[in-house]
Structure 1
Amino acid sequence: MLPSSLSKQQKYLFVIALLFIVLWSALFIQLENSLAKLQEFGAFFFLGIGGAITANSTGAGGGVVFVPSFNALGMAIDEVVATSFAIQCFGMTVGSISWLIFFNRDSSQKIERVNLLYQALACSIPMSIAGIYCVQYLSLLPVTSINTIFSVFSLVFGIVVLYHCVYLGKRSTHRGVKQLTKLELLLIAISSFIGGIITAWISVGVGEILAVILLLRGFSVMFSVAAGVIVSSLSVLSGIPYFINEQLINLEVLLFAAPGAIIGALVARFIAQALGPQKLKLFLGSWILFVGVIGLIDFI
C-alpha cells in the first residue's frame, strides 16, 4: 500500500515507476549471462540515481554527471552523448512530471506563477528543439572538441550560479506579475535555441541556461529548477529518435542506469525542498564549477 499522504497524481507516478521496474526485471532475466552483466554494469544503476538526483533537484541536465563518468570509461563521444540522452529520457521525464504535480497542487504556488511557468516553457521548448535539430539534421558542428565545450560551459554556468547565490541571494525572488515581458520572452527564445545546440553537442545546456536566466530575472529557485527540468525532458525526448536511428546508444549501460534515473527523479524534488533555495543553489554551482575545472585541467 502506498502512503495515504500521497496525492492521486503522486500515486500514479509511483505505480508507473513500479511497472517500469517490473518490465526491466523481465528484460534482465532474459539477458544472456545476466549475472555477469550485473557485475559489469550494475554500478550504472547508482550512477543513474546520482545523475537524476542532481539533474532534477537543480535543473542541471543529467549529462553533468553522465558525460564525465562515461568519458572516464573511454566511451566514444557520440556514444557518450547518445547514452546520456537516453538515460535522461527516463530520469528527466519522471522528474518533470513530479515538478508539474508540485506546481499544480501546492497551495504556496499561486496560479499566476503556474501560468508564468507555462509561458516560459511555451517559449523555450520549441526553440530548444529547433537548436537540437539544427545539429542533428543540418550537421551544425562544434567549433572545438566536445570535451572542451562541456568544460567551459560547466565553468561559466557554475560561476554564474555561485555569483547569484553569494551576491544576489538576499534579494527578493517574488515576481508580482502575471506574464513575462516581451524582452524576457525574446531572451528565453534566443538562449533556448543556443541551449538546444549545446545540448545536442554535450547532452546538457538548455535546462541550465533557462534556470539561470529565470534566477537572474528574479524568479524563485524552485520555479527556475522546475522550468529547467521540464525543458530538458522534452528536449532530450525530441532528440532521442536520431540516436536510436544511428544506433549510438549503449543499451547495456541504459538498461542498468535507467531504473536508477527513475528512482533518483522520484526523490529529487523532495531533496530540493529539504535543502532550501540557498543550499540548493550553492550545491548546484559548486558541483558544476568543480566538473568544469576538472575538465579544463585534463584538457591542459
Structure 2
Amino acid sequence: MLPSSFSKQQKYLLILALLFIVLWSALFIQSENPFAKLQEFGAFFLLGIGGAITANSTGAGGGVVFVPSFDALGMAIEQVIATSFAIQCFGMTVGSISWLIFFNSHDKQKIERVNLLYQALACSVPFSILGIVCVQYMPIIPIASIDLIFSIFSLVFGLIVLYHCVYLGKRSTHRGVTLLTNKEKALIAITSILGGIITGWISVGVGEILAVILLLRGFSVMFSVAAGVIVTATTVVAGISYFIQAQLIHLDVLMFAAPGAIIGAFVARFIAQALGAKRLKLFLGSWILFVGLVGLLDFI
C-alpha cells in the first residue's frame, strides 16, 4: 500500500516510475554482458539519484552534478553535455510533474499560484528554447572554454543565492498572488534567451537564472524552484533531438543514471519541503559556489 498522504496523482506518478524501472530491468538483463556493465557503470545510478535530488529540490539543473562528474572521468566535453541533457530529460521531467501536482491542489491559494506559475513559464519557455536552438543550429560559439563558462556561472549563481539568503532573507520578500508586471515579463524573456544559450553550452543555466530572478522579485523559494525545474525540463527535452542525431549520448551511462534520476526527482520535492526555504537556499548556494570554486582552481 502506498502512503495515505500521497495524492492520487502522486500515486500514478510513482506507478509510472516503477513501470519504467521494471522495463529497464528487462532491457538490462537482455543486454550483452549485463553484469560487466553493472560493475563498470553501476555507480552512475547513485549519481543519477544525487543529481536529480539536487536539481529538483533547488531549481538548479542536474548538470551542476553531472558535468563536473563526467568531466572528471575524462569524457569528451560534447559527450558530457549530451549525456547530461539526456539524464535530465528523465529526472527534470518527473520533477516537473511532481511540482505541478503540488501546485495543482484544491487549495484556492495554490490554484492562484499555479496560474501565476504558468504565466511565468509562458514568458520563459519559448525564449529559452529559442536560445538553445540558436546554439545548436546557428551555432553561437562560446566566448570561452565550456569548463570556464560553467565554473564562472556556478560561482556567480552561488554568490547571488547566498546573498539573497543571508542579507535579503532578514526581511520578508514574499509577495502576494499578483500578476507579473510588463517589466517582469520582459526581464524573464530576455534572461531566458540568455539562459537557453548558456544551457546549450553547459547543460545548465536557464532554470537557475529564472529561479534567481523570481527570488529577487519577491516570490517564495518553492515557487521559484518549481519554475526553474519546469523550464529546465522543457528546455532539455526540446534540445535532446540534436544530441540524438549527433549520436553523442553515452548510452551505458544513461542506462544506469536515468532510473536513479527518476527516483531522485520523485523524492526531491519532499526533501525541499522538509528543508524549508532558508536551509534550501543555503544548501543551493553553498553547493553551486563550491562547484564553481573547484572548477576555477583548474584555471589558476
Instruction: Calculate the TM-score normalised by the size of structure 1.
Output: 0.98
* Distance change >3 Å, CA 169–CA 194, structure 1 → 2: same
Q: How does 1:1-300 map to 2 (within 5 A)?
A: 1-105=1-105, 107=107, 109-300=109-300
> Are the counterparts in 2 of residues 115 and 179 from structure 1 also a CA contact under 8 Å?
no
* Distance change >3 Å, CA 106–CA 205, structure 1 → 2: farther
Q: Bigger shift: 228-237 or 5-14?
A: 5-14
Q: What is the letter of the counterpart of residue 292 of structure 2?
A: G
Shift of 1:143: 0.6
Aligned length: 300
Specify the SS of the correspondent of 2:169: coil
* Distance change >3 Å, CA 108–CA 265, structure 1 → 2: farther
Distance in 2, Cα, partners of 1:56 & 1:105: 19
Shift of 1:170: 2.4
Shift of 1:106: 6.5
Distance in 2, Cα, partners of 1:171 & 1:222: 17
Specify the SS of the correspondent of 1:218: coil
Distance in 1, Cα, partners of 2:72 & 2:107: 44
Shift of 1:17: 0.0
> Are the counterparts in 2 of residues 210 and 227 from structure 1 also a CA contact under 8 Å?
yes
Shift of 1:5: 2.6
Alignment RMSD, CA only?
A: 1.0
Q: What is the letter of the counterpart of residue 226 of structure 1?
A: A
Q: What is the letter of the counterpart of residue 281 of structure 1?
A: K
Distance in 2, Cα, partners of 1:168 & 1:3: 38
**Where does the alignment leave 5 or more consecutive residues of structure 1 unmatched?**
none
Q: String of CA shifts for 1:148-179, please: whole Å, max 9, x gaps.
A: 00000000000000000000112223322431
> Are the counterparts in 1 of residues 105 and 111 from structure 2 also a CA contact under 8 Å?
no
Q: What is the letter of the counterpart of residue 169 of structure 2?
A: G
Q: What is the letter of the counterpart of residue 123 of structure 2?
A: C
> Are the counterparts in 2 of residues 103 and 109 from structure 1 also a CA contact under 8 Å?
no
> Are the counterparts in 2 of residues 115 and 178 from structure 1 also a CA contact under 8 Å?
no
* Distance change >3 Å, CA 106–CA 224, structure 1 → 2: farther
Q: What is the letter of the counterpart of residue 152 of structure 1?
A: I
Shift of 1:200: 0.4
